[in-house]
Structure 1
Amino acid sequence: MEKEELFNYQKLTEEQLQTYNEQGYLILKGVIKPQGLEQMRAECMKAWNKEKESFDPNKSWLQNSLLVNVHHQAPTVKQYYFEGPLVSVATQIIGENVKGATSQLTFKMKGNTKPFGWHQDNGYGELDPYNALTTLSALDDTDRGNGCLWLIPGSHKQGQIRVEQNAEQKQSQSEIIVEADDSKAIPMEMKAGDSLIFNCWMLHKSDGNYSTDRDRRILFLRYADADAIEVYNNRKPRLGKLVNGHTKFHEVEEFEADL
């Protein structure tokens, strides 16, 4: 099926770009069309059921809620990640040279009431330059009842927040939680097919899914400067498929996205 039948391609307006720079986020309506949603849900659930089980409160967040590199098993997600409308959005915000940096299905099943505290995405995977872009595309309607995201508008302006972790915390990959003022938070409620985009320094969290009959499935796709390096990994280049422009790193130029 042609991409145009699955996704709505759009260019950010000057007003949207100004809002993003000032507030640190945007919600883009109806980025994924109904046929695209149908295909993505089917592919994602096939991949999920192949590797995962039902929610278990004794398991970790990674075991319960994340399926990494979901595009390896979901062709429509791969098309969306590498050729979809978010690539154009990323080039407007990051610049002409862009690579895909992360692909995940975040699946907060009904009954998974575990919250995820305040953090910055660049706190977990610090990339330089500091213009990486997080996109969250809703495969289900998301609201306060089933664990939608909350963020603090403008909080990206404080830059990278340093959190001290001891060797044991680093080894266990424990959550990197920061202090934030809950009174300034607003819920990011979305309809299925919408996409939330925000700055790598944006403070955000999510509550548990207290719904008894609704899951909350989100595609987490991160884009970065094509020459972005991993600060936490001896400043090695972040590997990811080049989706626009060029890069100075042959490792990125030659990166095979399916590996």
Structure 2
Amino acid sequence: MSPEQAIEKRHQLIRDGFCVVDGILDKYFLQELRIETERMMEDWVPPPDFKYQGQHVTAQGTENPIIQKLLDWPATRRALEQMGLGDFASTGGVILLTKDPGEPALYWHQDWMQWNDPMSCSPWPQIIFVSYYLSDTSRENGCLKIIPGTHLKRIPLHDQLVPAHEQGARFIAEDHPTMFSDHPDQVEVCVKAGDLVLADARVLHSAHRNLTDERRTLVLAWHRRPDTVPAYWTDPVPAFIAERDPEAEYPGSRIPGELLRNV
């Protein structure tokens, strides 16, 4: 990426809640990851309540040298540094996420778990998911769907959703009229194998059903940064954050509260 492209990617991540970095994995490491992830999933039997999330196999870099190689991948670190996101660090593990042939869609949700913390209203990203795609994606095979801007702005859908994952969404019916709906503001994030998607944990996202006869695979690594104002930030800091007590403990919550506003 040129310096100008990197800054535009950061602006998109801040504005829309996601961005795509093309071709982050070279063809040799891409193939190595395909082989290793298939090996890791070979004997895995996902629990029935994970049917919307696919295989959902977790792995730590300390226990798998290929996964550690991915977490340390120089091209990713270089891209983050170019974008001014060099203070983001991996949490040390990954999740293998698939859409196998015929598997149902993934429901609408967001992954922020700290909605009582004033940091929830930060206009910059604090926690991001870094997704490496091992397959080309399309609407037909279960591409990602995102509603841009929903990491910063409350929309009616926020208050209509069943809480994510283990708090309810894993147990809903496949024909739930809201959780699997199309939204007029959604965008379909279709990528090529080897591409990288960066997305804010707070943004509303889901994925289409896989209507093809081939598995769609990605490797997701959570990254987070310190609870400080980023060095690149020159706009005003919201009062909620400027007055935040860094020593306070805030109860965790998956449900957006008053900090997510209709602005």
Do they superpose with TM above 0.5?
yes
Q: Which residue of 2 aligns with 1:69?
A: 59
Q: Which residue of 1 aligns with 2:111?
A: 121
> Counterpart of 2:51 in structure 1: which amino acid?
W
CA distance in 2, matches of 1:142, 1:29: 13
In 2, are the aligned partners of 1:90 and 1:223 still within 8 Å (CA)? no
* TM-score (normalised: structure 1): 0.68
CA deviation string 1:55-114 (max 9, x = no partner): 89x5533884200126455423311213433334445668554332351010211121x2
Uncovered stretches (5+) of structure 2, i.e. residues with no partner: 121-125, 173-177, 229-245, 254-263
Q: Which residue of 2 aligns with 1:187?
A: 188
After superposition, the Cα gap between the structure-2 partners of 1:124 and 1:142, relative to the gap in structure 1 and judged at 3 Å, is farther
Q: Which residue of 2 aligns with 1:204?
A: 205
1:60 equivalent in alignment to 2:50: yes
After superposition, the Cα gap between the structure-2 partners of 1:97 and 1:19, relative to the gap in structure 1 and judged at 3 Å, is closer
After superposition, the Cα gap between the structure-2 partners of 1:163 and 1:116, relative to the gap in structure 1 and judged at 3 Å, is same
After superposition, the Cα gap between the structure-2 partners of 1:62 and 1:226, relative to the gap in structure 1 and judged at 3 Å, is farther
2:26 to 28, 33, 44: 33
CA deviation string 1:5-48 (max 9, x = no partner): xxxx8866222222222222111110001001111111111111
In 1, are the aligned partners of 2:88 and 2:223 still within 8 Å (CA)? yes
2:134 to 139, 142, 150: 139
In 2, are the aligned partners of 1:47 and 1:73 still within 8 Å (CA)? no
Secondary structure, aligned partner of 2:169? coil
1:14 to 4, 7, 11: 7
CA distance in 2, matches of 1:227, 1:17: 18
Q: Percent identity over the alignment?
A: 19
> Counterpart of 1:208 in structure 2: which amino acid?
R
CA distance in 2, matches of 1:217, 1:146: 10
1:157 equivalent in alignment to 2:158: no
More helix by share: 1
Report matched runs for 1:160-171 at 5 Å.
Answer: none
Moved more, 193-202 or 77-86: 77-86
How many residue pairs match? The answer is 218
In 1, are the aligned partners of 2:10 and 2:84 still within 8 Å (CA)? no
After superposition, the Cα gap between the structure-2 partners of 1:155 and 1:127, relative to the gap in structure 1 and judged at 3 Å, is same
Higher relative contact order (CA 8 A, sep 6+): 2
> Counterpart of 2:111 in structure 1: which amino acid?
D
> Counterpart of 1:109 in structure 2: which amino acid?
D
> Counterpart of 1:136 in structure 2: which amino acid?
S
Uncovered stretches (5+) of structure 1, i.e. residues with no partner: 1-8, 235-259
Secondary structure, aligned partner of 1:27? strand
* TM-score (normalised: structure 2): 0.67
1:164 Cα deviation from its structure 2 partner: 9.2
1:195 Cα deviation from its structure 2 partner: 0.9
CA distance in 1, matches of 2:77, 2:7: 17
> Counterpart of 1:77 in structure 2: which amino acid?
I
CA distance in 2, matches of 1:37, 1:172: 31
In 2, are the aligned partners of 1:33 and 1:193 still within 8 Å (CA)? yes
